[in-house]
Amino acid sequence: MNEPTTGAGGARPAIAIPPGAWDCHRHVFGPPERFPTATTGAYALPDADRQRQAATLARLGFAHALLIQPTPYDTDHRALLDALAHAGGRLRGIASCGPETSAAALHDLRARHIAGLRFVAMPGPDGRPYPGSQGLDTWHRLREAMAEAGLHAQLWADGDTCATVAQACAASGRTLVLDHLAGLGPDDRPGTPRFDRLADALASGFVWVKLTWFRRSHLPADYSDMAATVAALAERAPRRVLWGSDWPFVRVAAPPDPARLIEQLHAWLGSEAFGHCLCTNPASLLGLAPLDAVGTRP
């Protein structure tokens, strides 16, 4: 496939974005005077309040987003819920809850456009559990109550852990979404153990993966070493891939141009799979009929 042209920084992609497209991995932060952080966290808060989030999403040509609870807020969801409440139905959220969270609290989150809970099995910068996150032990405590509330799990972990957990969810019929390309790197291709284990789990219909590859690349600002892995995943499981920008790109020395990422996605997947990845697949995951470009629910 030909490499895409690079969109100017902050510009709209140079390809058509289908109506109703979803960015399935974004965050909102602040303003700090209204929503102070619950922990010191692993990074400083960026300038990314709900107004700026909405503006950058619209500039890219996307109608909808899945907002992920940032770890500096720990289990304080006020900023996330505020963004969802002001979105007119365009957004859904992924929360972070502690092990003692009640079934009633989970049902309340579901009613406020929260679609799932996130769990982290990656160490923080100091090698200890990532600050402000919930681990797999919390998921084990909450998973029955989550299922009753209609909430799925999202996981950020290394490639081997992702493959192992994905296979367990495939066998048990539990919905799982894997962040950051499920920890796969440029050397994970069809025929390698981690790739094949993950692809088999995706084939179950219960496991999804976000094609968010820039942190997995060995070529900063280029990312072309990820083309074969991303394209192969989409070919093996075209209805179980999602795309997320990871805006506003915290803990990245050279933040990517999201327009170029979208152009790469189109070049690597082709038009049909691109449309499924941005529109059909997220609507299916979230239990929605495809939403139109202005966010109206059928």
Cβ-based neighbours of 150, under 8 Å, separated by 6 or more: 110, 287
On the question of pLDDT at 5 being above 80, the answer is no
Q: Average pLDDT in the 105-111 region?
A: 98
Nearest to 241 by CA among 20, 6, 25, 64: 25
Would you state the structure tokens that stand for residue 183, as one six-digit string?
A: 């920890």
Report the alpha-carbon distance of residue 282 to residue 64 in Å, rounded. Answer: 10
CATH number of the structural domain 22-285 = 3.20.20.140
Query: Quick check: 6 and 260 in contact, CB under 8 A?
Result: yes
**Interior angle at CA 182, CA 180 and CA 117, nearest 5:** 75
Q: Average pLDDT in the 118-139 region?
A: 92
Report the alpha-carbon distance of residue 53 to residue 66 in Å, rounded. Answer: 11
Q: Which residues pair with 129 in a beta bridge?
A: 123
How would residue 290 be classed by pLDDT, with cut points 50, 70 and 90?
A: low
Q: Average pLDDT in the 242-258 region?
A: 95
How would residue 289 be classed by pLDDT, with cut points 50, 70 and 90?
A: low
On the question of pLDDT at 124 being above 80, the answer is yes
Mean pLDDT of the chain: 92
- The secondary structure of residue 16, as a DSSP letter, is P
Nearest to 210 by CA among 26, 67, 24: 24
DSSP β-ladder status, 207-210 and 176-178? parallel
> Out of 31-40, 77-86, 151-160, which region has the weakest mean confidence (pLDDT)?
31-40
pLDDT of res. 39: 64
Report the alpha-carbon distance of residue 105 to residue 77 in Å, rounded. Answer: 12
pLDDT of res. 38: 67
pLDDT of res. 40: 65
**pLDDT, tens digit (0-9, with 9 covering 90-100), for 13-37:** 999 999 999 999 999 999 999 999 8
* CA 92 vs CA 20, 120, 192, 230: distances in Å: 13, 20, 34, 25
Which run of H or of E encompasses 170?
helix 159-172
Report the alpha-carbon distance of residue 213 to residue 278 in Å, rounded. Answer: 15
